[in-house]
Structure 1
Amino acid sequence: MTKLPPHVQRARRPEHKELRLAAIVDSARSLALEKGVRAVTLTDIAARAGINKSAVLRYVETREDIYLRLTAECWSRWAAALREALGKRTDGTADELATQLCRTVVDQPLLCDLLAHAPLHLERHVSADAVLAYKLAALAALDDMTTTGARFQPVLEDGEVRELISTTSLLAGALWQISNPPEALARLYAEEPRLAHAVVDFLPRLTGAARTMAAGLAVRAG
């Protein structure tokens, strides 16, 4: 029997399986950062990881399963980044919180890309168990961020901070897709003055919307 090359042999020991899964996830991450989540196929991921496409499916359910795992990971990274940005201050304002929420999410382009894909595509092509694992991880990160944000400023209650974070994430997902169009659309926007409104400056637009919402929540809080 012909011995399979090392790059297509099945990992049998637990630590080898973990390394193989990590290689798959890392490959998906790097490809998405290079050309956007929507453009990456399972074949691309397998080639980057150096294994057969069929072998990838021994470790994950689907391409969408890989990116849902990465979305959960990115939520945790966003929570950690916000903690670092706000530090131990307890005298901040709602406006500062909104500004830091936007700055820390913009620093994570992969999360910005994934935020729109998760509900539209990723969650629809995995098992219920995979969706549950993702939802619990994202909720844990949201709880962490809510605690961090509420401690930072004395104006908004936990529920209002949570509302601000959730809405900022939704806006970030939508605005990222608009501000990072495919190459053909980008050329069209540049060549056609009547479509100038379609060109969105991501961070200023997101920050302006989040600050406006924070101001409204602060007024509502009394």
Structure 2
Amino acid sequence: MTYQRARSPEHKEERREAILAAARALAGERPVRDVSLGDIARRVELAKSNLLRYFESREAIFLTLLRREWEAFTVAASAQPDAAGLARALAERPFFCDLLGEQAAVLEHNVSGETVRDFRATSIDLVRTLAGDVATATRLAFDDAFEVVAAALLIAAGLYPLTNPAPRVVAIYAETPGLLQPDFEGRLGRLVATLIAGYAR
């Protein structure tokens, strides 16, 4: 395929969206950490150097997707802003949970300080938005509800890989009596409920 540089704002945005869609599709086939810039470039039939005209790095692509996933999660969780609702909204979004686990350790590297600052500001605003709904639903103080939402996200980031291990580990769970694979939604819901109860005292 002959590369043609997108020149109009509309064409540039179309190219950006195609890159994001390719990255999203690849992350549906394997974990985010296993998707390389080269994989994305091949999927959209661009050289890596040309792809970097639209995003500063692989990490910037996935930070953009993480922001979008975060926005969708916030909308979904606001429909039932209690422990069970937060857990369900996260369990229904494995891609979001995978990205959360990669955020600080991987995705905020190899991007500009401005990119990280903008992403962090947006994510904090989203946590605040959902915290308002949680405060209303649970009768917690806003600051306490903010901590509950932030903790739920942190727990999800750590719990998701444990509950979605490699096939070899799944086989070990199945073969070892008494060794049970953790339940993501159930475990997360119980932990968040405990946090809410603690702050409510």
TM-score, normalisation: structure 1: 0.85
Shift of 1:192: 3.8
Instruction: Name the aligned partner's letter for residue 110 of structure 2.
Output: H
Of all paired residues, the percent bearing the same amino acid is 36
1:189 aligns with 2:168: no
- Choose from 93, 117, 122 the match for 2:102: 117
Partner of 1:217: 199
Instruction: Name the aligned partner's letter for residue 157 of structure 1.
Output: A
After superposition, residues 163-178 of structure 1 pair within 5 angstroms as 163-178=147-162
Partner of 1:57: 52
Q: Distance in 2 between matches of 1:133 and 1:182?
A: 33
> Which secondary structure does the structure 2 equivalent of 1:124 belong to?
coil
Shift of 1:189: 3.2
1:45 aligns with 2:40: yes
- Choose from 129, 132, 148 the match for 1:147: 132
- Retained in 1: the 8 A contact 2:83–2:190? no
Instruction: Name the aligned partner's letter for residue 37 of structure 1.
Output: V
Q: Say which structure is richer in helix.
A: 1
Moved over 4 A (4+): none
- Retained in 2: the 8 A contact 1:71–1:111? yes
Q: Distance in 2 between matches of 1:177 and 1:143?
A: 26
- Retained in 2: the 8 A contact 1:11–1:20? yes
- Retained in 2: the 8 A contact 1:98–1:164? no
Q: Distance in 2 between matches of 1:120 and 1:182?
A: 20
Q: Distance in 2 between matches of 1:176 and 1:205?
A: 11
TM-score, normalisation: structure 2: 0.93
Shift of 1:183: 2.4
Partner of 2:15: 20
- Retained in 2: the 8 A contact 1:102–1:207? yes
Which region of structure 1 is more displaced relative to structure 2, 50-59 or 106-115?
Answer: 50-59
Q: Distance in 2 between matches of 1:25 and 1:124?
A: 18
> Which secondary structure does the structure 2 equivalent of 1:45 belong to?
helix
1:133 aligns with 2:118: yes
Q: Distance in 1 between matches of 2:116 and 2:66?
A: 11
Cα distance per residue 1:31-84 (max 9 Å; x no partner): 11221111111111112223222211111111111111111111111111123x
Q: Distance in 2 between matches of 1:116 and 1:207?
A: 18
Instruction: Name the aligned partner's letter for residue 140 of structure 1.
Output: D
Shift of 1:213: 1.2
- Retained in 2: the 8 A contact 1:33–1:109? no
Shift of 1:108: 1.2
> Which secondary structure does the structure 1 equivalent of 2:109 belong to?
helix
- Retained in 2: the 8 A contact 1:116–1:173? yes
- Retained in 1: the 8 A contact 2:62–2:99? yes
Which region of structure 1 is more displaced relative to structure 2, 120-129 or 47-56?
Answer: 47-56
Q: Distance in 1 between matches of 2:112 and 2:137?
A: 38
Which structure has the larger Rg? 1
Partner of 2:185: 203
